[in-house]
Structure 1
Amino acid sequence: MIEKTSFSWGFRLAVLATALACVVVVLGAFTRLADAGLGCPDWPGCYGHLTWPTTDEHVVAAEALFPEAPVEHDKTWPEMVHRHFAGTLGLLILAITIITWRRAAKTGEPLPRMHTLGLLLLVIVQAAFGMWTVTLKLWPQVVTAHLLGGFATLSMLWLLVQRLGQRQWRVSSATLSRLRGVRPLALLVMVLVVMQIALGGWTSSNYAALACTDFPTCHGEWWPAMDVARGFNLAQSIGPNYLGGLLEGEARTAIHMAHRLGALVVSVSVLLLVVRLLRLGGACKPIAFTLLGVLLLQVSLGVSNVLAHLPLAVAVAHNAGGALLLLVLVTLTHRLYTAQSKQPVGA
């Protein structure tokens, strides 16, 4: 836990970085869902440009340089806008890390130095996965790991905001004891949500979101024919190009159904957590209702994706909803683990 400091501008930088990370996550989802992940065949530039080829002359030169990848303007700009925002976020996290370490060394304040260092290392790894996403032609393992890395970066930034902002509950000793009893369930729910996000990434990267176009059944059946072994073959070789997916129908159906079942498990676990929080009352009530609201929104968006055949805006919103659900759980877990007993008057 961090003692109160005057590091308010560090808190503001963390808030700015978190907001930027939200933009990066949404842009990443838009890029992936708009099939623009290979909008630029090279990295970190785009057809050798810092932005993307726009003039006819630049397009001709770009296609001569990459004859196997003709320029598609509706796919080049999302990819490069995402890269520029991600690069800016990386520089901001680097600045936060350097400033935090220097401030701590100079003043001796108990600032979260290792937290910022971990963030910086995570962003470096994310950059590598961003490069491999292109060079390995949207290999599902890399795309899913890249998505998880983005969510992890956002979560760590939000946790940094909580730590620097001294966001803690102060409750009675009796309530503190009851809050501690909720910690295991909150952690379990968070793990389940992360697993569901990974399943969502695997569904998206294997183009299995429309493997079932009806709901709640799939192909008119409650348990359709599925090829689980192929659908979840994590050792699959690196193919020539995974744009559009390479798996056959039953393998994609297995992935889609796993994501649906995961959503059911997550929904039940979140509802159990909401009930526990409501029983505690007090400061737990607002976050319980927030959890419930985000869960209902996320489930509604997921069902809409199926019934409306994956409209881009809804699919991007579903991705953002997953991030929001994770952030609410990060907030809750931080509150549970940092809650302090109220000091009696005159102590």
Structure 2
Amino acid sequence: MNQDNYRIWVAVTFALSLCVIALGAYTRLTEAGLGCPDWPGCYGFAGVPKSETQQALAATRFPDAPLEADKAWNEMLHRYVAGTLGLMILALNVMAWRRPSRPKGLPALLLATVIFQALLGMWTVTMDLMPVVVMGHLLGGFTTASLLFLLWLRLGTTSSPPSSVRASSGLQAFALFGLLVVIGQIALGGWTAANYAAVVCTQLPLCEVDWRQSFDTSAFGLIQPEHETYQYGVLDYQQRVTIHVTHRIGAMVTAFVLLSLACLLWQQRALRGVAGVMMVVLVGQIVLGITNVVASLPLSVAVAHNVTAVLLLLSLVAVNLQVHRMRQLGRYPNRIASRMGS
């Protein structure tokens, strides 16, 4: 397989990773995370039990988890597509090692990530939706998509920027800061969802209750007391309000940081494209977040909010790579320009 076809394979794998993220969000939002009480099968079968005999056997095996076919199919579809993604990433590694010129580090890191992601998927079920595991599973999915996107960008051929184009160390540091802020906000969103705190506040801009007087930092304890199940959440009302309000404040901080970053990027003509994409995605994400509050978390909007979050993360990955390339061009103009033009 030549380099162009390899990059197409990476692009298809990346697109599938976005589908897995969307399906994961849909599975969680339809309360199908425990649609199958075991892993990797479903009630002891490779697929959802269909016949009356299979369903009777499923009821015998898991008497405390009655079969709900719709939820079980949601869960198994997510597992099937995620499994396909894992096989495609394995194939990426095989193809990378067959050609010395292809990068090896990123495919290997992707394979390690997707293996750990599979473990998190198993623990999500076996630990009955423990919030720290659910949040970790979401972050693992976003990491997989980001690494695939980064690999696709690095495989691309890019013409050399004008010799006058440079990126300062300050801009590079602020771009990295923006990336870290977005990752932190995504983690807050994952923690909000995992603790069922998404609709605990129904008014804007923060909350209808006096959250300042009852702000409870224990809401962010990653290791929660053991419960038989964490489905529908185990934290009290004030703790959920604390999580929700912190997520909203985080959204405001993120918007301010990215707006500041966009202003800095806009000063460089070569960076205006990625700055514009970043701002369009940010505005879309803000609109979706407000709609979630006003319309009480519609399923389609909530799924779109998850997908747009990963798109925002990817835009920051692109920004950081572009700034890094320009920074390197300033340090090693001859070497970097010849590499980018090859």
Q: TM-score, normalised by structure 2?
A: 0.92
Q: How far did residue 103 of structure 1 move?
A: 1.6
Q: How far did residue 6 of structure 1 move?
A: 4.8
Q: Is the 8 A contact 1:37 1:138 kept in 2?
A: yes
Q: Is the 8 A contact 2:196 2:232 kept in 1?
A: yes
Q: Secondary structure at the match of 2:165?
A: helix
Q: State how far apart, in whole Å, the 1-side matches of 2:188 and 2:216 are.
A: 13
For 1:1-58, what per-residue CA distance to the aligned partner results, in whole angstroms no more than 9, with x for missing partners? xxxx952221111101100000001101111111110000000001112121123332
Q: State how far apart, in whole Å, the 1-side matches of 2:28 and 2:214 are.
A: 25
Partner of 2:99: 103
Q: State how far apart, in whole Å, the 1-side matches of 2:160 and 2:254 are.
A: 29
Number of aligned residue pairs: 330
For 1:224-275, what per-residue CA distance to the aligned partner results, in whole angstroms no more than 9, with x for missing partners? 5434233111221332101100111000000001100110110001001111
For 1:112-159, what per-residue CA distance to the aligned partner results, in whole angstroms no more than 9, with x for missing partners? 101111110111000000000000000001000110000000000000
Q: How far did residue 180 of structure 1 move?
A: 4.9
Q: State how far apart, in whole Å, the 1-side matches of 2:57 and 2:199 are.
A: 37
The one of 75, 89, 93 equivalent to 1:79 is: 75
Name the aligned partner's letter for residue 113 of structure 2.
Answer: L
Partner of 2:60: 64
Name the aligned partner's letter for residue 287 of structure 2.
Answer: S
Q: How far did residue 307 of structure 1 move?
A: 1.1
Q: How far did residue 165 of structure 1 move?
A: 1.7
Q: Is the 8 A contact 1:97 1:113 kept in 2?
A: yes
Q: State how far apart, in whole Å, the 2-side matches of 1:82 and 1:179 are.
A: 43
Partner of 1:150: 141
Name the aligned partner's letter for residue 309 of structure 1.
Answer: S
Q: State how far apart, in whole Å, the 1-side matches of 2:123 and 2:195 are.
A: 16
1:336 aligns with 2:326: no
Partner of 1:186: 175
Partner of 1:272: 260
For 1:146-185, what per-residue CA distance to the aligned partner results, in whole angstroms no more than 9, with x for missing partners? 100000000000001011123x462233322x35542111
Name the aligned partner's letter for residue 8 of structure 2.
Answer: R
- Let me know the Cα RMSD of the aligned residues: 1.7
Q: State how far apart, in whole Å, the 1-side matches of 2:159 and 2:135 are.
A: 35
1:204 aligns with 2:157: no
Q: Secondary structure at the match of 1:43?
A: coil
Q: How far did residue 279 of structure 1 move?
A: 1.7
Partner of 2:310: 323
Partner of 1:28: 24
Partner of 2:295: 308
Name the aligned partner's letter for residue 71 of structure 1.
Answer: L
